[in-house]
């Protein structure tokens, strides 16, 4: 039971706010020492315990070297750099302003345009925090000004901002490709249909709620002078990022480039777009590079801590205990799928997708292979589930991002209540992928 207690201890430390990478590393060292003592009972000596402890971590340098040479993970900093440069070039502002004018006369049009812009930002930047903040700063005041419900406005922004977790190129999919040892390009293709279905469901919900209750999303009368040239402005705002999306994803899907190579093209393309908008300055490049280094360092620090954690977890035999429990569930495959999805969703209330990907998923993956679950299908289910973790109270990151830029009249409760319908939509789409994978080509 040492490994199970270690897992619970890590969750408790994360829940009270300890840094993720340090939590996994320190918990692994502490419980590794305990496991070494337990292994040598009833008469352990200090030298024997030390020898057992160091042998437990003897492969750690090779694991770290393997992580640092992983070509799949090289795509992570490149896609992050691409997203941050596009965010700093004010791409979101241009898209939102143009789409808002185009869809303003439709009931719920501002919310629909927010979802569409969120989709484009997801496919071109993939940075959830930047998307939510940008739309919160620009779109939220406009929706509130025209009488939109606080719940609908905040829920739409949070949901649209998190689409970058499932719509390629997604950092989640790159990480899951590494964990599952699946081609990232194939994961990108498999995730495209579920992502677009989710976007369609968001828009359908907005249309229905706007028609049922006309107070939540009133129609906006756009002045004639603003209508003139609105289509041209919208195309001017949409075509550059759309071209970048086609270059990045098209090169992967066509087999012309690997995800890492296309990420490099995307980062270069982002700089070209920023130059087109006359926003490419030395300061933007430096700021974007520093932010990329910070985020990448965090991801790799978590990965190294998670590696130490998993080594101790396997050493204690806890993985066999979990496998025995999961394979003994009623319903076999379906029982495992339901429980694993529920566990990931529950953990998503408290911890980030990176921790879940590197700690929980490696525990579930061998069990899914024993049961005979298709790894591509299972990876897409987990990716869709992990996206929900950005919206679920109390620790959903999108909620905090939006709250940081909200006007004073929008409370945290308004945001929490606003995301509930979108969480339910995500759960329904997730259930449809479980029940009818063939509809998504899985």
What pLDDT does residue 428 have?
93
Compute the distance between CA of residue 110 and CA of residue 104 in angstroms, rounded to an integer: 6
Across 49-60, average pLDDT: 80
- The radius of gyration of the chain from alpha carbons, rounded to an integer in Å, stands at 23
CA distance readout (Å), 183 to 122, 150, 178: 20, 41, 8
Instruction: Establish whether the linkage from the previous residue to 42 is cis, with ω within 30° of 0.
Output: yes
Exposed e or buried b for every residue in 236-254, given b needs 16+ CB within 10 A?
A: ebbebbeebbebbbebbbe
Q: What is the pLDDT of residue 203?
A: 92
**DSSP classification of residue 163:** G
Q: What are the backbone angles phi and psi of residue 396, rounded to the nearest 5°? A: -60, 125
Please report which confidence band the pLDDT of residue 276 belongs to, taking 50, 70 and 90 as the band edges. Answer: confident
The mean predicted confidence, pLDDT, of the chain is: 81
Beta carbons within 8 Å of 363's beta carbon, 6+ residues apart: 313, 319, 322
Q: Is the pLDDT of residue 231 over 70?
A: no
Kindly report the pTM of this predicted structure.
0.79
Q: Which is more confidently placed, 248 or 225? A: 248
CA 414/CA 151 separation, integer angstroms = 5
Bond preceding residue 388 cis, omega within 30 of 0: no
- What pLDDT band is residue 56 in, cutting at 50, 70 and 90? confident
DSSP track, 345-356: HHHHTTS-HHHI
Residue 225 has pLDDT above 60, yes or no: no
Between residues 379 and 387, which one has the greater pLDDT?
379
User: Binning pLDDT at 50, 70 and 90, where does residue 220 land?
Assistant: low
Q: Per the structure block, which two tokens stand in for 360?
A: 């929980």
Which ranges of 74-127 would DSSP assign to H, the alpha helix? 75-88, 91-103, 109-124
- Mean pLDDT of the region 249-268: 82
13-53 pLDDT per residue, tens? 877 777 777 888 888 888 888 888 887 777 777 888 788 88
Scan for tokens 């750690």, then name that residue: 60
Residue with structure tokens 């040239």?
229
């Amino acid at each position: 039971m040492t490994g199970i207690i270690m897992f619970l201890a890590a969750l408790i430390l994360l829940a009270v706010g300890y840094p993720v990478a340090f939590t996994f590393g320190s918990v692994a060292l502490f419980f590794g020492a305990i496991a070494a003592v337990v292994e040598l009972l009833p008469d352990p000596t200090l030298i024997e315990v030390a020898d057992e402890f160091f042998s437990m971590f003897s492969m750690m340098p090779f694991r770290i070297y393997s992580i640092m040479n992983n070509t799949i993970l090289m795509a992570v900093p490149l896609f992050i750099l691409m997203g941050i440069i596009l965010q700093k070039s004010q791409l979101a502002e241009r898209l939102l302003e143009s789409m808002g004018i185009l869809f303003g006369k439709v009931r719920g049009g501002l919310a629909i345009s927010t979802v569409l812009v969120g989709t484009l930002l997801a496919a071109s930047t993939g940075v959830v925090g930047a998307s939510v903040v940008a739309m919160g700063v620009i779109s939220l005041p406009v929706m509130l000004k025209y009488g939109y419900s606080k719940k609908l406005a905040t829920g739409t922004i949070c949901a649209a901002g998190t689409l970058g977790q499932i719509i390629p190129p997604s950092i989640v999919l790159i990480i899951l490709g590494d964990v599952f040892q699946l081609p990232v390009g194939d994961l990108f293709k498999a995730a495209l249909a579920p992502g677009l279905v989710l976007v369609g469901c968001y828009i359908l919900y907005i249309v229905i709620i706007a028609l049922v209750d006309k107070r939540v999303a009133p129609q906006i009368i756009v002045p004639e002078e603003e209508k003139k040239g609105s289509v041209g402005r919208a195309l001017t705002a949409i075509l550059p990022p759309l071209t970048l999306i086609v270059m990045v994803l098209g090169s992967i899907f066509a087999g012309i480039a690997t995800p890492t190579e296309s990420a490099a093209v995307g980062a270069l393309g982002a700089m070209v777009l920023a130059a087109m908008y006359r926003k490419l300055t030395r300061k933007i490049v430096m700021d974007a590079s520093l932010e990329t280094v910070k985020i990448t360092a965090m991801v790799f620090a978590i990965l190294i801590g998670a590696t130490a954690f998993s080594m101790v977890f396997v050493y204690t035999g806890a993985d066999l205990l979990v496998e025995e429990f999961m394979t003994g569930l009623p319903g076999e495959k379906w029982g495992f799928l339901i429980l694993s999805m529920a566990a990931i969703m529950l953990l998503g209330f408290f911890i980030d997708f990176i921790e879940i990907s590197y700690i929980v998923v490696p525990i579930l993956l061998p069990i899914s292979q024993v049961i005979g679950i298709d790894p591509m299908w299972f990876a897409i289910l987990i990716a869709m589930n992990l996206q929900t973790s950005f919206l679920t109270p109390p620790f959903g990151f999108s909620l905090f991002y939006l709250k940081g830029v909200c006007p004073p009249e929008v409370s945290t409760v308004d945001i929490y209540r606003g995301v509930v319908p979108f969480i339910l939509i995500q759960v329904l789409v997730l259930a449809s992928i479980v029940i009818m994978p063939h509809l998504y080509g899985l």
